[in-house]
Structures are given as structure tokens and as C-alpha cells.
Amino acid sequence: MGEGEGKIQLKRKERTELSRQLRKDLTEAERALWARLRGYQVSGLKFRRQQPIGPYIVDFVCFEKKIVIEVDGGQHGEESVRQRDDERTAWLHGEGFRVLRFWNNEALANLEGLLEVIRQMMGDNCPSPKSSPTRGEDINAPSPSHGRGLG
């Protein structure tokens, strides 16, 4: 989701307009990842960017595999933002989505590593959607992405 945004209580038309604006205003990290996700390049699956799901707009989603990918800036390390992210992740889990979270600098410095984590999640023998150690309920679980990843 765009930087610093939490739960958005907007009408459908407003959410659609905001999604369109967010698609135009991708961060550098989101742009780099989108260049590799678009056009069925990862496991032959379709991804959408800045997609409304319920009260939220997620950075990327593959509806076929029910996987959401978030690319977060440094403000997501702040306690209040982390709490909103955890709430959002819990809501998405309740809807059957698995959530992968990466830092912007991870997407820029290690794009191939991120894509490998994403490909692993696309497989049928994926680990259960437990939260990452820094972001969710299971703080003792290992993460596939240096403290982030599964959310």
C-alpha cells in the first residue's frame, strides 16, 4: 500500500480513484517489483497492483493464489504504523490471504531474493501463513526474508 496509509473507509468509487492514483505514484521499489511481477512473469500467475481488497488497498495481489505483497518504507518500522499493519494483515488472513512484507531497500538491493521468496510461496507445498517475527502474532517463527516476509 502507498506509504503511511492504513484502513481506508471510502466508497467504492473513491477507492477506485485512489487505487488509480496510487498506481501512478508507485515508489521506486514498487516500480522495480512491478516490472518483474506484471505480465505473468512469476510462476505464470497474474498480479494486480494497488488493488482494493475490502477496506484496504494492497500493493500487489495474486488472487489465484490469494497472496498479497506489500513493499514498505521506513515509516512502517514505527510502532503505530506496525500496529495498523498487523491489524490489516490479520484482516487479510481472515479473508484467506497470505501476506508477504518487504522493505523498500530489500526490493531495490535484492530483487531476485524477493522474487525467490514469492516463487516459493506460489508452490503448493508452501508453509502456513504465519506472521513474520517483526510483524505479527508468531514472533518466534523464522522468516524467509531476514525478519520480514510472511505476514
pLDDT in tens, 105-137: 889 999 999 999 999 988 844 433 333 333 333
> 76 lies in a domain?
yes
The C-alpha cell at 11 is 466508497
Residue 144 has pLDDT above 50, yes or no: no
Residue 12 has pLDDT above 90, yes or no: no
Angle between the N-to-C axes of helices 28-37 and 111-122, in degrees from 0 to 180, rounded to the nearest 10: 50
> 78 lies in a domain?
yes
DSSP 78: S
> 87 lies in a domain?
yes
> 80 lies in a domain?
yes
The whole-number pLDDT of residue 82 equals: 82
> 6 lies in a domain?
no
Name the residue with higher pLDDT: 124 or 87.
87
Residue 46 has pLDDT above 70, yes or no: yes
Q: Would the pTM of this model clear 0.85, i.e. be above it? A: no
* Cα separations in angstroms, 22 against 31, 57, 87: 11, 9, 21
Q: Any bridge partners for residue 135, and if so which?
A: none
Name the residue with higher pLDDT: 28 or 23.
28
Residue 98 has pLDDT above 70, yes or no: yes
8 Å CB contact between 89 and 146? no
Count of the separate structural domains present in the chain: 1
User: Residue 94 maps to which CATH number?
Assistant: 3.40.960.10
Residue 85 has pLDDT above 60, yes or no: yes
Range of the domain at 99: 12-150
Residues 6+ apart with CB under 8 A from 9: 55
CA distance 79 to 56: 19
